[in-house]
Each structure stands twice: as structure tokens, then as C-alpha cells.
Amino acid sequence: MGIFELLGISRNTDSFQSKVSRFGETATVKRIVVELSSLEPTLATFIAAFAFVLNRVAHADSNISQAETEKIQDIVWKRGHLSPEQARLVVKIAKNQAELFGGTENFLVTREFRETSTMEQRLELLDCLFAVATADGKISGTEETQIGQIATELSISQPTYATALSAHSEHRSVLRSLRKN
């Protein structure tokens, strides 16, 4: 199921520009929403926050790799039902914003996502966060910590997070180093 279906939103838009100011509290989300002007503002806000949080994990180690960028584009394209060009643009802006303002807006954008999403959507995001973290074949300790922080900010319970993390145990670098010893 894609983002449109999960949100129960149609693609109809009317007076987009007047609605932009009501949706999207942070500069990051507002910038992406404007670029997605062909979408309904609530959906554009949702996708903007979704893409930013994905980039938050990719940027956890202060470097967003090409593999992570491609994985995020694929997720945003498929789950957002955007054109490939829109997905690339959204990810490019979200990546740029994460690199420039991540420390300042990480919590704010994640809170905005939490406030506009269902628990099902937050769990879908959690799954996508692990997909981004494993884009290079491993989940670093820094990425794992960042995903845990995001899960807390999204009000995902510790047992639910632990279950999701255990599903990716073969990719956890902290466990790989223990296995080698």
C-alpha cells in the first residue's frame, strides 16, 4: 500500500499556495511542499517529512552515500507514487536540508511526521529507515542509535523497536564485530 492509500488522500488540488502556509511547520518541509505543488498539500507535507527522516538516518555518520541516496529515491518514488523526477527532486532537497540543518530540524521534522501520521505509517517509516541503513550492507552503530532515537520520537514502543531491530540483526555492525571474535 502506498502513501496515498494510507493517507486516504486524493490527488486533487485547489488553491495550493494558500494551503502551504497551514501545512509544514519547518523550513525543510515547506521547501519540499512548494516543489510538490501538484500534490495535495497534506500529502506533500507528509512526503517531505518522510524523505527528510530517511535522510536523517543516512546522514547519521555525517556522510550520505550514493547507495543510501539511491535507496531513499527508490523508497520515495515507490511509496510516494511520485514520478522518478519528483522523487529525485524531493530526495535532493531533503538530503541538502539534512546536511545543512539536520541538527536543528531533526526533532522538529520527525515530530511533524508523528503528528500527521498513523502508527501504521510510522511503522512503515521504521522499516524504511532500516532499509536505508542497510543500503551499504551494514547498520553502523551510529545509524542504529539514530533509528532508535527516531523510533522514540515517533512514539514507537521499545519492544516494537527491538523486534524491528532484531529482524535486521545480520546487518548490525556491532554484532558482526562480536561474531568475528
Across 126-164, b (16+ Cβ under 10 Å) vs e yields bebbbbbbbbbebbbeebbebbbbbbebbebeeeebeeb
What's the pLDDT score for residue 24? 56
What's the pLDDT score for residue 37? 78
pLDDT digits (tens, 9 = 90+) for 124-162: 999 999 999 999 999 999 999 999 999 999 999 999 999
What's the pLDDT score for residue 3? 43
CATH number for the domain whose boundaries are 3-180: 1.10.3680.10
What's the pLDDT score for residue 8? 42
The pTM assigned to this predicted structure is 0.78
What's the pLDDT score for residue 13? 42
- Residue of higher predicted confidence among 44 and 114: 114
Judged against a pLDDT cut of 50, whether residue 101 lies above it is answered with: yes
Q: Where are the domains of the chain?
A: 3-180
CA distance 94 to 99: 9
- Kindly calculate the radius of gyration of the chain based on its CA atoms and give it in whole angstroms: 16
What's the pLDDT score for residue 93? 86
CA distance 85 to 77: 9
What's the pLDDT score for residue 126? 97
**Phi, psi (deg, nearest 5) at residue 80:** -90, -10
pLDDT digits (tens, 9 = 90+) for 41-96: 888 888 889 999 999 999 998 889 999 999 999 999 998 888 888 898 889 888 88
- Mean pLDDT, residues 22-26: 57
What's the pLDDT score for residue 128? 96
